[in-house]
Amino acid sequence: MTEITHQTVQLSTGIAMHVAEAGAGAPVVFCHGFPELWYSWRHQLPALAEAGWRAIAPDMRGYGGTDAPPNIADYTQEAICADMAALLDALGEEQAVFVGHDWGGAVVWNMAQHHPQRVRAVAGVNTPAAPRAPINPLEAMQMNPGRFDYQLYFQEPGVAEAELGADVQRTFTLMLRSSNAADRIDALAGTAGVRERGGLLVGMPEDAERSVMLTEEDLQVFVEAYERTGFRGGLNWYRNHGRNWEWSAAVEGRQIEQPALMVTAGRDPVLLPEMSQGMEDWIPNLARGHIEECAHWTQQEAPEELNRILLEWLAALP
């Protein structure tokens, strides 16, 4: 079994970042989303290492063993992408392939546009790339919240922190669920109407069993990390839509030229596969993969299938 090693790296952006990695060779950096950790990529690191890659998975800014600065403005995409460039510097790498899921998907697509010289190739898992929106995305959500109402609920500092942190075991038991019928409930299917209900997990059962995609040990990795850190760092990513939109003006209209991969999941209730339509129009070197029987947590629900898609794509890179 390939060993996963851990280190804490001091970045030139001023934060200390916890990094897990496996293997040697050309680097692939994995960026996780909310509410996750480097551990979400535990199935990918050994698979890539065994195929001859240097697989690198940090706890992103605000998460796990990485520093969580105090201010909301410390969590812009500009700051987080600067972390990724600084991470390459600290690890002695000029370029890497970047793979991201959920918020990490936004990071890797932004890296490809704002730091193109650092990105050899880029892959989004569930998270599509989209051209710059005509208005601030937060304003668009306020006009038509739909399934993104949870992001409006996340805007008021302290509110979601209190709900999600009140019983961390319950939070992760309800949130980390697969499309398998045995899992029955899915908190992510209820991301509409969150403010009206008074919380993301309001009305969810108190006694749910953990998902079939997780061992008890897996679940406790997340629970123990968040009992220590709380949720504020990750939630602050959602509170910078306006700043991120302003930053994106600098690359408006620019194509993503690097080799790219979009992996969609047929049962994701939030990041729907159809959201990725039209990506070919401005990402000319786009390949695609699709996993139909898979919900939001693709790396954990369908690791073998995702690894196969990633490794075939990586092997074909110029």
**What is the tens place of the pLDDT at every residue in 204-232?**
998 899 999 999 999 999 999 999 999 99
Active-site position among 32, 183, 238, 241: 238
Tell me whether residue 89 is one of the annotated catalytic residues: no
pLDDT value at residue 273: 98
Helix axes 168-175, 159-166, angle to 10 degrees: 90
Please state, rounded to an integer, the average pLDDT across all residues of the chain: 97
Residue ranges of domains in the chain, CATH in brackets: 5-315 (3.40.50.1820)
pLDDT of residue 253: 92
Model confidence over 260-318: pLDDT tens digits? 999 999 999 999 999 999 999 999 999 999 999 999 999 999 999 999 999 999 999 99
What pLDDT is attached to residue 189?
83
pLDDT in tens, 62-99: 999 999 999 999 999 999 999 999 999 999 999 999 99
Concerning whether 83 is annotated as a catalytic residue, the answer is no
Q: How confident is the model at residue 184 (pLDDT cuts 50, 70, 90)?
A: confident
- Active-site residue, from 67, 102, 149, 218: 102
Cβ atoms 97, 112 nearer than 8 A: no
Q: Taking a C-beta distance cutoff of 8 angstroms, is the pair 283, 113 a contact? A: no
Which tokens is 93 given?
């790498």
Is 296 labeled as catalytic in the residue annotation?
Answer: yes
Instruction: Please give the structure tokens belonging to residue 118.
Output: 């650092």
pLDDT at 1 over 80: no
Rounded-to-integer distance, Cα 172 and Cα 295, Å: 15
- Region 111-119: mean pLDDT is 98
Share of the chain above pLDDT 70, in %: 100
